[in-house]
Structures are given as C-alpha cells and as structure tokens.
Amino acid sequence: MPQIGKKTLVIVTRRLPEAIEARMMELFDTRLNEDDHVFSRAELQDAMAEAEVLVPTVTDRIDSDLIQSAGKNLKLIASFGTGTDHIDITSAESQKILVTNTPGVLTEDTADMTMALILAVSRRLTEGERKIRAGNWEGWAPNALLGQRIWGKRLGIVGMGRIGQAVARRARGFGLTIHYHNRYRLPEGFESELGATYWESLDQMLARMDFISIHCPSTPATYHLLSARRLRLIQKGAYVINTSRGHVIDEAEMTRLLENGDLAGAGLDVYEHEPFINPKLLSFENTVLLPHIGSATLEGRIDMGEKVLINIQTFVDGHSPPDRVLPH
C-alpha cells in the first residue's frame, strides 16, 4: 500500500477522456501518454519498473515476463477495459500485484453495436453507402441491393451474459425470435422476459439460426468455440455477428465459407489477429467490418474511467478494489 501523505505514482499507457485525466491528476501523481502512442514492450517494462499503479488498456500485452520484472513498488494494474486476457492474472497474483478491470459499463453500447451490425449486413447498408460515394448509383430500381428482412427471423445468441441479454431485449423489438446457448440455463423468469429458447447443444442451435451473435468472455475454453466444424453447421443463408473477441471464431474457416457463398454474410467488430485483418475479408461485399468500436461512446469511456478511479482510490485507501480480477 502506498505511503500516507505521498501521492501514488500512476502511469497511464493511453490517452483517456479529458475529465478522467483531470481527476486522476488531482488525486494522484499521474503520468500521461501525451501523444497517445502505443507503448512498446520496453516502455511497458520501464513503466512497470517505476509505477505504483499501472493503467493499461486492452492492447497492452502484459505477460508473465513483464510482471516478473516489475519494480517492487508496482502493486496494482488498473486496466481500462472489461477484458483481461491481455494480462497474465496468475503471474500477477504470484507477485502480489492486484489486477482490476471495468465490468458492466459497456453492456448497452456493445448491444447497440450488435444490432447495428445485424441491420447493416442483412440490409446491405455499407454496400449502398459505398455505391453512393463512388458515384455509381443510377437511381432506384426494383431489384437493387435486395437484402434480407430480419422480422420473424431466428437469432442465436452464444453467451447469454449481460451483453447477450441486452441484445435479446433489443432484438425482440425488431421482431426476431430469441434463442441462446450458455454455460448454464437462465432462470425461467429471465427466459420468459426475453422470450428466449435455451439450447443445451450449441451444434443444434447453430444449424437452425438465421443470425448467430457471439457474446462470450475471452477464456481458454472459448478459443475457437466456433471451430471449423461448427461453422460448417451454420445454414447457408445465415449471418455471423461478432462483437466479443476475434479468437472465439476460426476466422480462416469463416473467411472460406464467406468466399464460397456458404454464409450469407458477417458483421465483425473484432478479429482473430487484430489489428491485422484478413485481406479476403476486406474484399468481400457481404462483410461489414468495424475497427473494434463496439464500446466506443463518450459516455461508456467516461464510465470506464470512473471505475478505474474508484479502483485506484479504494486501493490507495487500504481496501480491496471493487473490480478485482482473480485467476480462473
């Protein structure tokens, strides 16, 4: 725990909302990343050698080697983000370094983006927008850019946590019927509220849906949960939507299925090897590709920053931070 009367040294790896940075400067001895560049591994190592609290983001890979070489003063990694797969939690625990995240504040924003992708890919919105910008639109025609109606279609949600449930609530308003696969079945009251049908077998659900939307946490168990075999179960006219983590899907197989016309389309906000994106995905007309902005609202970022502040201040005050992350 930091010494009483001495401001805690906090090093932040990326620029945060102005209001959050200002409050952080008031409360702590804060060093900001003024030009917002991505920290190199060497810069991360230097920061961890000096800081008492490190505030990284989900793009900072903090592995066991970095944690083992951290300075003796580093006691808290207060991550700005919900996911923690970029931090070796077990190694941090062994070094008595606490790790926190910012859960629960991105639910509505990510659910909104999921619905935007469902509509954009099925109604070919970005194709039409590109045609307008290229000067290739010659006016209305009966058969131009025909998409698929979503009303009455089946939506299969893979992972019915907070975000999955928020998507289900929105999707019902668009007339989609809700189906889901989860590690455990929701209480009957939740199913009734969401009008949701539970599938114990992911394979069986995938084979019967018009839209598949991925909302899994990032864990070793969810790596390629939608494997090549499972992707081939999805019916030919279906769409895949992913706003969770890229490595949940076997991206190479999904790309092949899209190329061969075995999937109707894909709406993606995350990628298996981001920021690299498979060039073939970029070439397809039936993909809507976004740069990992599912949670990118000003309100959401401020909410995340406030959670970071609370976690740090609680730690400085000698208590366990509310959003502490423990090893699996």
Please list the active-site residues.
245, 274, 292
Contacts of 271 (CB under 8 A, 6+ apart): 246, 251, 277, 278, 292
d(C-alpha 109, C-alpha 293), whole Å: 9
Contact status, residue 220 vs residue 245, Cβ threshold 8 Å: no
Contacts of 238 (CB under 8 A, 6+ apart): 209, 210, 211, 212, 263, 264
| Pairing verdict, β 76-78 and 98-100 | parallel
Contact status, residue 53 vs residue 296, Cβ threshold 8 Å: no
Task: With residue 89 as reference, give the H or E element that holds it.
Answer: helix 89-94
d(C-alpha 32, C-alpha 287), whole Å: 37
